[in-house]
Protein backbone atom coordinates (compact mmCIF):
# COMPACT_ATOMS: atom_id res chain seq x y z
CA UNK A 1 0.00 0.00 0.00
CA UNK A 2 2.86 2.37 0.75
CA UNK A 3 5.30 3.72 -1.81
CA UNK A 4 8.24 6.11 -1.90
CA UNK A 5 5.69 8.92 -2.27
CA UNK A 6 4.16 7.91 1.08
CA UNK A 7 7.30 8.21 3.23
CA UNK A 8 6.98 10.12 6.53
CA UNK A 9 7.11 13.88 6.11
CA UNK A 10 8.38 16.27 8.78
CA UNK A 11 6.78 19.66 9.24
CA UNK A 12 10.02 21.24 7.98
CA UNK A 13 9.76 19.24 4.76
CA UNK A 14 6.16 20.39 4.37
CA UNK A 15 7.24 24.00 4.87
CA UNK A 16 9.93 23.51 2.24
CA UNK A 17 7.29 22.38 -0.26
CA UNK A 18 5.22 25.46 0.55
CA UNK A 19 8.28 27.69 0.06
CA UNK A 20 8.67 26.23 -3.42
CA UNK A 21 5.11 27.29 -4.15
CA UNK A 22 5.73 30.74 -2.71
CA UNK A 23 8.67 31.22 -5.05
CA UNK A 24 6.52 30.33 -8.05
CA UNK A 25 3.85 32.81 -6.90
CA UNK A 26 6.46 35.53 -6.21
CA UNK A 27 5.50 35.69 -2.52
CA UNK A 28 8.10 36.52 0.12
CA UNK A 29 5.75 35.75 3.04
CA UNK A 30 2.82 33.38 3.55
CA UNK A 31 0.15 33.89 6.21
CA UNK A 32 -1.50 30.61 7.29
CA UNK A 33 -4.84 31.04 9.03
CA UNK A 34 -6.77 27.82 8.35
CA UNK A 35 -6.68 25.55 11.39
CA UNK A 36 -5.95 22.29 9.54
CA UNK A 37 -3.22 23.93 7.43
CA UNK A 38 -1.65 25.43 10.55
CA UNK A 39 -1.53 21.99 12.15
CA UNK A 40 -0.21 20.31 9.01
CA UNK A 41 2.72 22.74 8.68
CA UNK A 42 3.63 23.09 12.35
CA UNK A 43 2.15 20.32 14.50
CA UNK A 44 0.29 22.93 16.57
CA UNK A 45 -3.17 21.62 17.51
CA UNK A 46 -4.80 24.77 18.87
CA UNK A 47 -8.43 24.88 17.75
CA UNK A 48 -10.24 27.97 16.52
CA UNK A 49 -13.52 28.85 18.18
CA UNK A 50 -16.05 30.21 15.73
CA UNK A 51 -15.40 31.60 12.25
CA UNK A 52 -14.25 35.00 13.49
CA UNK A 53 -11.96 33.63 16.21
CA UNK A 54 -8.47 32.21 15.88
CA UNK A 55 -6.00 30.27 17.98
CA UNK A 56 -3.16 31.81 16.00
CA UNK A 57 -1.44 32.06 12.65
CA UNK A 58 1.76 31.01 10.92
CA UNK A 59 4.05 33.44 9.12
CA UNK A 60 6.46 31.70 6.78
CA UNK A 61 9.29 33.28 4.78
CA UNK A 62 12.34 31.79 3.13
CA UNK A 63 14.20 32.00 6.45
CA UNK A 64 11.57 32.31 9.19
CA UNK A 65 8.78 30.18 10.67
CA UNK A 66 6.74 32.12 13.21
CA UNK A 67 3.69 30.93 15.13
CA UNK A 68 1.78 33.89 16.54
CA UNK A 69 -0.79 33.13 19.24
CA UNK A 70 -2.09 34.47 22.55
CA UNK A 71 -1.44 33.60 26.17
CA UNK A 72 -4.04 30.82 26.20
CA UNK A 73 -1.91 28.77 23.81
CA UNK A 74 1.62 30.05 24.47
CA UNK A 75 2.96 26.98 26.29
CA UNK A 76 1.09 24.56 24.05
CA UNK A 77 2.49 26.21 20.94
CA UNK A 78 6.06 25.97 22.22
CA UNK A 79 5.65 22.28 23.03
CA UNK A 80 3.89 21.27 19.80
CA UNK A 81 5.78 23.45 17.31
CA UNK A 82 9.42 23.39 18.48
CA UNK A 83 10.78 24.38 15.05
CA UNK A 84 8.78 27.64 15.11
CA UNK A 85 9.49 30.92 16.84
CA UNK A 86 6.52 31.56 19.13
CA UNK A 87 5.22 35.13 19.33
CA UNK A 88 2.61 35.75 22.02
CA UNK A 89 0.48 38.78 21.24
CA UNK A 90 -1.33 40.69 23.97
CA UNK A 91 -4.24 42.30 22.14
CA UNK A 92 -5.18 40.54 18.91
CA UNK A 93 -3.59 38.82 15.95
CA UNK A 94 -4.59 41.61 13.60
CA UNK A 95 -2.99 44.23 15.84
CA UNK A 96 0.22 42.18 15.95
CA UNK A 97 0.48 41.33 12.26
CA UNK A 98 1.63 44.77 11.02
CA UNK A 99 4.54 44.71 13.48
CA UNK A 100 5.50 41.16 12.49
CA UNK A 101 5.30 41.91 8.77
CA UNK A 102 7.44 45.00 9.22
CA UNK A 103 10.00 43.01 11.21
CA UNK A 104 10.12 40.38 8.44
CA UNK A 105 10.52 43.10 5.80
CA UNK A 106 7.52 41.55 4.07
CA UNK A 107 6.41 43.02 0.75
CA UNK A 108 4.23 40.45 -1.04
CA UNK A 109 2.18 38.48 1.49
CA UNK A 110 0.02 35.57 0.43
CA UNK A 111 -2.97 34.88 2.63
CA UNK A 112 -5.71 32.24 2.69
CA UNK A 113 -8.72 34.01 1.23
CA UNK A 114 -11.10 31.28 2.37
CA UNK A 115 -10.33 32.09 6.02
CA UNK A 116 -9.64 35.84 6.30
CA UNK A 117 -12.94 37.64 6.86
CA UNK A 118 -13.73 40.89 5.04
CA UNK A 119 -13.69 42.73 8.37
CA UNK A 120 -10.29 41.40 9.42
CA UNK A 121 -8.88 42.06 5.95
CA UNK A 122 -10.10 45.64 6.09
CA UNK A 123 -8.71 46.09 9.61
CA UNK A 124 -5.34 44.69 8.59
CA UNK A 125 -5.05 46.79 5.44
CA UNK A 126 -6.02 49.91 7.40
CA UNK A 127 -3.39 49.25 10.08
CA UNK A 128 -0.72 48.58 7.46
CA UNK A 129 -1.55 51.86 5.78
CA UNK A 130 -1.50 53.76 9.08
CA UNK A 131 1.90 52.25 9.89
CA UNK A 132 3.07 53.08 6.37
CA UNK A 133 4.18 49.48 5.91
CA UNK A 134 4.64 48.84 2.17
CA UNK A 135 2.90 45.45 2.07
CA UNK A 136 0.71 44.06 -0.71
CA UNK A 137 -1.76 41.40 0.50
CA UNK A 138 -2.20 38.68 -2.16
CA UNK A 139 -5.25 36.36 -1.85
CA UNK A 140 -4.51 32.68 -2.50
CA UNK A 141 -6.54 29.48 -2.60
CA UNK A 142 -5.66 25.85 -1.86
CA UNK A 143 -1.91 26.33 -1.62
CA UNK A 144 -1.50 24.21 1.52
CA UNK A 145 -4.55 22.04 0.83
CA UNK A 146 -2.95 20.87 -2.41
CA UNK A 147 0.02 19.63 -0.35
CA UNK A 148 -2.28 17.82 2.05
CA UNK A 149 -4.14 15.89 -0.65
CA UNK A 150 -1.50 13.12 -0.85
CA UNK A 151 -0.91 11.40 2.47
CA UNK A 152 2.42 10.17 3.81
CA UNK A 153 2.93 6.88 5.64
CA UNK A 154 2.12 8.36 9.05
CA UNK A 155 -1.11 9.95 7.82
CA UNK A 156 -2.19 6.69 6.19
CA UNK A 157 -1.42 4.74 9.36
CA UNK A 158 -3.37 7.15 11.57
CA UNK A 159 -6.35 7.07 9.20
CA UNK A 160 -6.33 3.26 9.22
CA UNK A 161 -6.39 3.33 13.03
CA UNK A 162 -9.25 5.83 12.96
CA UNK A 163 -11.22 3.49 10.69
CA UNK A 164 -10.60 0.55 13.00
CA UNK A 165 -11.63 2.63 16.01
CA UNK A 166 -14.92 3.59 14.34
CA UNK A 167 -15.59 0.01 13.24
CA UNK A 168 -14.87 -1.42 16.68
CA UNK A 169 -17.38 1.00 18.16
CA UNK A 170 -19.98 0.10 15.54
CA UNK A 171 -19.66 -3.62 16.19
CA UNK A 172 -20.20 -3.00 19.91
CA UNK A 173 -23.13 -0.75 19.08
CA UNK A 174 -24.89 -3.51 17.12
CA UNK A 175 -24.64 -5.79 20.17
CA UNK A 176 -26.38 -3.09 22.23
CA UNK A 177 -29.02 -1.77 19.81
CA UNK A 178 -32.64 -2.86 20.13
CA UNK A 179 -35.91 -1.84 18.42
CA UNK A 180 -37.63 1.06 20.14
CA UNK A 181 -34.43 2.96 20.89
CA UNK A 182 -34.44 6.47 19.51
CA UNK A 183 -32.14 7.72 16.76
CA UNK A 184 -30.64 10.20 19.20
CA UNK A 185 -29.93 7.57 21.85
CA UNK A 186 -28.15 5.38 19.30
CA UNK A 187 -26.07 8.32 18.01
CA UNK A 188 -25.04 9.27 21.54
CA UNK A 189 -24.08 5.69 22.38
CA UNK A 190 -22.03 5.33 19.19
CA UNK A 191 -20.01 8.42 20.06
CA UNK A 192 -19.42 7.10 23.57
CA UNK A 193 -18.22 3.78 22.17
CA UNK A 194 -15.81 5.50 19.77
CA UNK A 195 -14.30 7.45 22.64
CA UNK A 196 -14.01 4.23 24.66
CA UNK A 197 -12.21 2.69 21.67
CA UNK A 198 -9.66 5.50 21.68
CA UNK A 199 -11.12 8.28 19.52
CA UNK A 200 -10.51 11.87 20.57
CA UNK A 201 -13.95 12.75 19.17
CA UNK A 202 -16.38 11.97 16.40
CA UNK A 203 -15.21 13.21 12.98
CA UNK A 204 -18.56 14.98 12.46
CA UNK A 205 -22.09 14.95 13.96
CA UNK A 206 -23.21 11.32 13.76
CA UNK A 207 -26.18 10.48 11.53
CA UNK A 208 -28.67 7.86 12.68
CA UNK A 209 -31.83 7.92 10.56
CA UNK A 210 -34.60 5.31 10.66
CA UNK A 211 -37.49 4.61 8.33
CA UNK A 212 -38.54 7.61 6.22
CA UNK A 213 -35.88 9.76 7.91
CA UNK A 214 -33.20 7.70 6.17
CA UNK A 215 -34.35 9.26 2.88
CA UNK A 216 -32.59 12.43 4.10
CA UNK A 217 -28.88 11.98 3.31
CA UNK A 218 -27.85 14.30 6.17
CA UNK A 219 -30.66 13.60 8.62
CA UNK A 220 -30.30 14.84 12.20
CA UNK A 221 -30.97 12.15 14.83
CA UNK A 222 -34.21 12.82 16.66
CA UNK A 223 -36.58 11.24 19.14
CA UNK A 224 -38.10 8.83 16.60
CA UNK A 225 -38.02 5.21 17.85
CA UNK A 226 -36.38 2.71 15.52
CA UNK A 227 -38.87 0.13 14.30
CA UNK A 228 -38.66 -3.42 13.02
CA UNK A 229 -38.41 -3.96 9.27
CA UNK A 230 -37.29 -0.44 8.30
CA UNK A 231 -33.94 0.83 7.00
CA UNK A 232 -31.64 2.40 9.59
CA UNK A 233 -28.89 4.52 8.01
CA UNK A 234 -25.81 5.29 10.11
CA UNK A 235 -23.00 7.61 9.04
CA UNK A 236 -20.19 8.05 11.54
CA UNK A 237 -16.45 8.42 11.93
CA UNK A 238 -13.73 8.62 14.56
CA UNK A 239 -11.15 11.37 14.78
CA UNK A 240 -7.75 10.13 15.93
CA UNK A 241 -4.63 12.30 16.22
CA UNK A 242 -6.50 14.87 14.12
CA UNK A 243 -7.33 12.53 11.22
CA UNK A 244 -10.87 11.56 10.28
CA UNK A 245 -12.55 8.32 9.33
CA UNK A 246 -15.94 8.29 7.60
CA UNK A 247 -18.19 5.22 7.24
CA UNK A 248 -21.83 4.59 6.33
CA UNK A 249 -23.86 1.43 6.76
CA UNK A 250 -27.57 0.69 6.44
CA UNK A 251 -29.05 -2.02 8.63
CA UNK A 252 -32.46 -3.38 9.59
CA UNK A 253 -34.01 -5.14 12.57
CA UNK A 254 -35.58 -8.40 11.46
CA UNK A 255 -35.84 -9.97 7.99
CA UNK A 256 -35.31 -7.58 5.08
CA UNK A 257 -38.12 -7.32 2.55
CA UNK A 258 -37.69 -7.51 -1.24
CA UNK A 259 -37.54 -3.74 -1.71
CA UNK A 260 -34.75 -3.29 0.83
CA UNK A 261 -32.77 -6.20 -0.63
CA UNK A 262 -33.13 -4.84 -4.16
CA UNK A 263 -32.05 -1.29 -3.32
CA UNK A 264 -29.24 -2.53 -1.10
CA UNK A 265 -27.92 -4.75 -3.91
CA UNK A 266 -27.97 -1.86 -6.40
CA UNK A 267 -26.08 0.46 -4.04
CA UNK A 268 -23.55 -2.24 -3.30
CA UNK A 269 -23.03 -2.89 -7.02
CA UNK A 270 -22.53 0.82 -7.65
CA UNK A 271 -19.94 1.04 -4.90
CA UNK A 272 -18.06 -2.03 -6.13
CA UNK A 273 -18.00 -0.74 -9.72
CA UNK A 274 -16.62 2.63 -8.61
CA UNK A 275 -13.93 1.11 -6.40
CA UNK A 276 -12.83 -1.16 -9.25
CA UNK A 277 -12.35 1.92 -11.46
CA UNK A 278 -10.21 3.90 -9.01
CA UNK A 279 -6.55 4.08 -9.94
CA UNK A 280 -3.85 6.72 -10.42
CA UNK A 281 -4.75 8.94 -13.36
CA UNK A 282 -8.49 8.34 -13.14
CA UNK A 283 -10.69 11.43 -13.20
CA UNK A 284 -12.87 12.07 -10.15
CA UNK A 285 -15.90 12.79 -12.34
CA UNK A 286 -15.38 9.57 -14.32
CA UNK A 287 -15.42 7.43 -11.16
CA UNK A 288 -18.59 9.21 -10.02
CA UNK A 289 -20.18 8.53 -13.40
CA UNK A 290 -19.51 4.80 -13.14
CA UNK A 291 -21.40 4.47 -9.87
CA UNK A 292 -24.13 6.83 -11.04
CA UNK A 293 -24.66 4.80 -14.22
CA UNK A 294 -25.35 1.62 -12.22
CA UNK A 295 -28.02 3.41 -10.20
CA UNK A 296 -29.52 5.12 -13.25
CA UNK A 297 -29.76 1.85 -15.18
CA UNK A 298 -31.64 0.34 -12.25
CA UNK A 299 -34.20 3.15 -12.51
CA UNK A 300 -33.15 5.19 -9.47
CA UNK A 301 -31.08 7.94 -11.07
CA UNK A 302 -33.27 10.68 -9.62
CA UNK A 303 -32.80 9.21 -6.13
CA UNK A 304 -29.01 9.66 -5.93
CA UNK A 305 -28.47 13.39 -5.62
CA UNK A 306 -25.17 13.79 -3.79
CA UNK A 307 -21.61 13.23 -4.92
CA UNK A 308 -20.02 9.80 -4.80
CA UNK A 309 -17.21 10.69 -2.43
CA UNK A 310 -14.49 12.97 -1.13
CA UNK A 311 -11.06 12.98 0.40
CA UNK A 312 -10.50 12.83 4.15
CA UNK A 313 -7.62 13.88 6.37
CA UNK A 314 -7.31 16.60 8.98
CA UNK A 315 -10.74 17.69 7.70
CA UNK A 316 -13.67 15.38 7.05
CA UNK A 317 -14.15 16.85 3.56
CA UNK A 318 -10.99 17.42 1.55
CA UNK A 319 -9.79 17.08 -2.01
CA UNK A 320 -10.02 15.08 -4.14
CA UNK A 321 -13.73 15.01 -5.00
CA UNK A 322 -15.62 12.24 -6.73
CA UNK A 323 -18.52 14.16 -8.25
CA UNK A 324 -20.02 15.09 -11.62
CA UNK A 325 -18.29 18.48 -11.32
CA UNK A 326 -14.89 17.29 -10.07
CA UNK A 327 -11.78 18.47 -11.90
CA UNK A 328 -9.49 16.28 -9.78
CA UNK A 329 -7.20 13.58 -11.10
CA UNK A 330 -6.55 10.74 -8.67
CA UNK A 331 -3.03 9.81 -7.57
CA UNK A 332 -1.34 7.26 -5.33
CA UNK A 333 -1.47 8.24 -1.66
CA UNK A 334 -4.87 9.93 -1.82
CA UNK A 335 -7.67 8.73 0.48
CA UNK A 336 -11.27 8.94 -0.72
CA UNK A 337 -14.68 7.79 0.45
CA UNK A 338 -16.94 5.87 -1.91
CA UNK A 339 -20.54 6.34 -0.76
CA UNK A 340 -23.35 5.86 -3.29
CA UNK A 341 -26.92 5.94 -2.03
CA UNK A 342 -30.56 5.65 -3.05
CA UNK A 343 -33.19 7.66 -1.19
CA UNK A 344 -36.95 7.16 -1.57
CA UNK A 345 -39.26 9.68 0.12
CA UNK A 346 -41.77 8.11 2.54
CA UNK A 347 -39.81 4.83 2.56
CA UNK A 348 -36.19 5.56 3.40
CA UNK A 349 -32.71 5.24 2.01
CA UNK A 350 -29.64 3.05 1.70
CA UNK A 351 -26.07 4.35 1.69
CA UNK A 352 -22.88 2.29 1.86
CA UNK A 353 -19.56 4.02 2.43
CA UNK A 354 -16.00 2.75 2.56
CA UNK A 355 -12.70 4.61 2.64
CA UNK A 356 -10.00 3.59 0.21
CA UNK A 357 -6.39 4.61 -0.28
CA UNK A 358 -5.19 4.85 -3.86
CA UNK A 359 -2.10 2.75 -4.61
CA UNK A 360 0.13 2.61 -7.70
CA UNK A 361 -1.94 -0.33 -8.95
CA UNK A 362 -5.46 0.52 -7.77
CA UNK A 363 -6.83 0.80 -4.24
CA UNK A 364 -6.70 -0.73 -0.80
CA UNK A 365 -9.99 -0.71 1.09
CA UNK A 366 -9.42 0.46 4.66
CA UNK A 367 -12.67 -1.03 6.00
CA UNK A 368 -13.17 -4.53 7.36
CA UNK A 369 -16.92 -4.45 8.19
CA UNK A 370 -18.84 -7.11 6.27
CA UNK A 371 -21.21 -5.47 3.78
CA UNK A 372 -23.44 -8.57 3.87
CA UNK A 373 -24.07 -8.16 7.59
CA UNK A 374 -27.06 -5.80 7.54
CA UNK A 375 -29.84 -7.80 9.25
CA UNK A 376 -29.82 -7.28 13.01
CA UNK A 377 -31.04 -10.09 15.24
CA UNK A 378 -32.64 -9.10 18.54
CA UNK A 379 -34.03 -10.85 21.57
pLDDT of 3 reads 40
The dihedral formed by the CA atoms of 61, 66, 67 and 68, expressed in degrees to the nearest 10 = -100
CB 347 within 8 A of CB 257: no
| pLDDT score for 6 | 54
- 66 by Cβ neighbours in 10 Å (0-12 / 13-18 / 19+) ranks as buried
- Please tell me whether residues 139 and 232 are part of one structural domain: no
> Rounded to 5 degrees, what angle do the CA atoms 220, 221, 226 make?
140
Domain count for the chain, please give it.
2
CB 115 within 8 A of CB 107: no
Tell me, yes or no, whether 180 and 90 share the same domain: no
Same-domain status, 172 and 307: yes
Q: In what order do the strands lie in the sheet with 85-88?
A: 85-88, 65-69, 57-60, 29-32, 108-112, 136-140
Of 96, 124, 147, which residue sits at a domain end? 147
Tell whether 318 and 219 lie within a shared domain. Answer: yes
For residue 219, give the nearest of 194, 236, 199, 244 by alpha carbon.
236
Q: Are residues 176 and 98 in the same domain?
A: no
Q: Are residues 334 and 264 in the same domain?
A: yes
Mark whether 125 and 90 lie in a shared domain.
yes
Is 263 found in the same domain as 166? yes
Q: Parallel, antiparallel, or unpaired: how do β-strands 341-344 and 348-351 relate?
A: antiparallel
Q: How far is 210 from 219, CA to CA, in rounded Å?
A: 9
Record the pTM.
0.93
Note down the domain range covering 22: 4-147
Residue ending a domain, choose from 127, 147, 167: 147
Q: Residue 93's closest CA among 116, 77, 113, 109?
A: 116
Q: Which residues of the chain have pLDDT under 50?
A: 1-5
316 and 212 in one domain? yes
Q: Give the domain CATH number at 30.
A: 3.40.350.10
Domain boundary residue, one of 130, 147, 164: 147
Q: What does the DSSP assignment read for 304-324?
A: --S-SEEE-SSSSSEEEEEST
Q: Is the dihedral of CA 367, 369, 370, 374 positive or negative?
A: negative
- The predicted pLDDT at position 50 comes to 81
> Do 184 and 269 share a structural domain?
yes
196 and 274 together in one domain: yes
CA distance 174 to 201: 20
Q: Residues 97, 164: one domain? A: no
pLDDT of the residue at 42: 97
We report the CATH number of the domain holding residue 294 as 3.90.230.10
Asked if omega into 320 is within 30° of 0 (cis), the reply is yes
Amino acid sequence: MLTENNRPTSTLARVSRLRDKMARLDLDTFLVLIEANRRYLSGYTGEDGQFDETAGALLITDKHCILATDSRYDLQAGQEAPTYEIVCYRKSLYDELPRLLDRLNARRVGFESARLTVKHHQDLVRQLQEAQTPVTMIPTENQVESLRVTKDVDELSITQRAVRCAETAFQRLLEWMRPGMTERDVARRLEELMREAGAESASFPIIVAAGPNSAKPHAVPGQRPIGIGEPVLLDWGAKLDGYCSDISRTVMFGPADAQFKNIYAIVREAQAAAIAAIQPGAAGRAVDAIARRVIEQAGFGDNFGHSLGHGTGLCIHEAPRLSPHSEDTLAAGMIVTVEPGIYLPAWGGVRLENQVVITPNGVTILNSLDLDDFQLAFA
